[in-house]
Amino acid sequence: MIKIGIIGGTGYTAGELIRLMIHHPKIDIQNIVSKSHPGKLIHLVHQDLLGEMKNKKFSCDLNKKIDVVFLCSGHDQSKKELNNISENIKVIDLSQDFRMEIKSVFNNRNFIYGLPELQKEKIKKSNNIANPGCFATAILLGILPLIKNQLLKKDIHISAITGSTGSGRKLSDTNHFSLRNNNISVYKIFQHQHLQEIEQTIHKVQKNFYSKIYFVPYRGNFSRGIITTLYTHSFFSLEKNQEIYKEYYKNHPFVKISDINIDIKQVINTNKCILHLLKEENQLIVISIIDNLIKGASGQAIQNMNLMFDLDETCGLKLKSVRF
């Protein structure tokens, strides 16, 4: 069994990690650290875990006899935690701290960008993973077949809407029910932090891409899920593009190509990304949907762990969507 530790155990991503891990056949959760709720019963914070955790409590400190730790403490906190973690323990970081290559080395740890559909073999050989951002995951999965085939030639225009859980558990003006309910708003136009990892990936894979990426993110009036619509110039027919996408993802079990229109509920509670392609005049349109808390965070982290420990990458992640 793989011995697991979690640091930052009270947030949404940690809650989803625990929920998925308790049914994973190869995982033994050793302890879950919370600096804000040490000694408190886990199910009193994550109330959906009532009856699942056998009265387990949050710990003050990490068990040193573990194989891998998931860092869920939030952005700019991971370095502080790593100072107290043995180099023998593998690390999967769910913050943005190590996603950029310029910041990917810390205390002799070299973090690999953990998008399995991009660099599965590197992940298998790595001891340290920087889990991608949720928007970045949805967008990159929508364009990976293009950049892998050197087919991006013009600007990319992207709009995407995310649920309120994307803002984290702490209450703020932008995720307060009174604001989010029956409402929609735009934020960080052309400046969202996930653009950096998107641009880094594109330029690494397709070095001759010199055009612009225009990304407009929206706050949605629902709790979870991301739907992304992007379009860019394409010389190929719709049928040829579909062929390119299906060929690229044929060995990636969580990415599916749909021939009919898609909606967010198809992926909620799953580690799937579903793509739908359209062609209007000379523009290829790609719709991409994921669950921001699973494929965009905790599920992808477990997928990366499976690869790191030479398990089937779908282990513990064969989930059906909550459609109705």
Q: What is the pLDDT of residue 324?
A: 78
The domain segmentation of the chain, as residue ranges, is: 2-132+295-308, 134-293
| Residue-level pLDDT, tens digit, the chain, 324 residues | 999 999 999 989 999 999 999 999 999 999 999 988 888 999 999 999 988 888 899 999 898 899 999 999 877 889 889 988 989 999 999 999 999 999 999 988 999 999 999 999 999 999 999 999 999 999 999 999 999 999 999 999 999 999 987 655 565 666 666 676 788 998 889 988 889 999 999 999 999 999 999 999 999 998 899 999 999 999 999 999 999 999 999 999 999 999 999 999 999 999 999 999 999 999 999 999 999 999 999 999 999 999 999 999 999 999 999 877
Fold equal for 2-132+295-308 and 134-293: no
* Residues 214 and 244: beta-carbon distance below 8 Å: no
Pick the catalytic residue: 72, 134, 273, 315? 134
- What are the strands of the beta sheet with 213-219, ordered from one edge? 185-186, 213-219, 156-162, 226-233, 283-290, 273-280, 255-258
Please state which of the four CATH numbers 3.20.20.220, 3.90.1300.10, 1.25.40.10, 3.30.360.10 is assigned to the domain occupying 134-293. 3.30.360.10
pLDDT of residue 98: 95
CA–CA separation, 245 and 256 (whole Å):
9
Active-site residue, 134 included: yes
* Domain 2-132+295-308: assigned CATH number: 3.40.50.720
Rounded to whole angstroms, the Cα distance separating 296 from 271 reads 8
